[in-house]
Amino acid sequence: MASITEGRFGGDDRQPPGGKGPRNVLQMVWLCVSLGLMVAVGVWGYRLLLREAAGIPTVHASTGPVRTAPEVPGGSTAQNIGLSVNAVLARNPDSMMESDVVILAPQGAALSREDLSRQSSYLSAAGAMPSGISDDVLSAGEVLQIAGADDPVESIDDLLSQLINPPVIAAAPEAAAPSSSGIPRPRTRPTNGAVTALAVAAAQAPVASAPQSISADVPAGTPLVQLGAFPSTEGAANEWTRLSRNFADFLRGKTPVIQQATNGGNVIYRLRASGFTDLEDARRFCALMVAENGACIPVSAS
């Protein structure tokens, strides 16, 4: 029988087919890990597809109680409610620090006694009704007694016509109109038989006198009010006439004074009014004039 002999290069080092080595064990481990990973990914993908297809989220029940009753059913009392603050201070009066002191804002400045008296005088002067004007309604007999007319109807008609349509001075004499003595003039009577005292007082109110000449001899310290400054005495006189017509009640009893002065090398004429007891009286007068959209400045003669 032939025998197996070793070759020239030695014997065969190959292991028999049934042998197990460390390399085969490592390969088997990696194979198991790969299979497990593939199975896990497949299961995870399958569950993901099922969840997205169904659209129903999974809700787990809570382990604890749904509601918990509070320890103090009425709630805890704060330290700044009721008399708690007083109780804290009573226990430790020195606990209030300087930063806890509340300082109120100071009161607003009040008017002095002099300002209050001046304000009351201004209000009384502004609220007082000018002399000669009243809201009382007079009867026809009282109107006749005040006016002193003989014909009641004619005097009332003439008074109203003069107030509504003042007479106009014609520039040139016109031809005499034909006599109408034979034609009776119809007499109109008042609808209510009474005329307010305002119309009578307006008809009887005297117009303030116009300045006649330049007056400069006014004692120093005399309270005056300045009503304007004009380049000529005629302008000052015209302004006084206008003011006497618009502010007849205010200028009643006041004397016009026109004083010459120099301003920037130009001669001006200041229109002023006198007849005030003191400078406060002049200021009250100017307050009334300014309230009626008039120009007025209280001054003292120098």
Domains of the chain: 137-161+191-204 (no CATH), 223-300 (3.30.70.1070)
- The confidence score (pLDDT) of residue 246 equals 87
pLDDT band at 114; cut points 50, 70, 90: confident
Is the pLDDT at 220 greater than 70? The verdict is yes
- Residue 256 DSSP class: E
- Residue 3 DSSP class: -
- The confidence score (pLDDT) of residue 263 equals 83
Average pLDDT for 73-89: 71
Q: Could you report the per-residue pLDDT of 222-271, keeping only the tens digit for each?
A: 888 988 888 888 888 888 888 888 888 888 888 888 888 888 888 888 88
pLDDT band at 170; cut points 50, 70, 90: very low
- The confidence score (pLDDT) of residue 106 equals 75
Q: Which of 17-31, 80-94, 177-191, 213-227 has the lowest mean pLDDT?
A: 177-191
- Bigger pLDDT: 216 vs 196: 216
- The confidence score (pLDDT) of residue 208 equals 47
Give one word for 70, left, alpha or beta, with left for phi > 0 and alpha for psi -120 to 50: beta
What is the phi/psi pair of residue 54, to 5°? Answer: -80, -40
Best CA proximity match to 255, nearest among 210, 194, 198: 210
- The confidence score (pLDDT) of residue 171 equals 47
Q: Which of 105-119, 172-186, 196-210, 280-294 has the lowest mean pLDDT?
A: 196-210
For CA atoms 117, 118, 121, 122, the dihedral sign is: negative
Contact 241, 278 (CB under 8 A): no
State how beta strands 137-139 and 223-230 pair: unpaired
pLDDT band at 78; cut points 50, 70, 90: confident
Is the pLDDT at 32 greater than 60? The verdict is yes
For CA atoms 194, 197, 198, 199, the dihedral sign is: positive
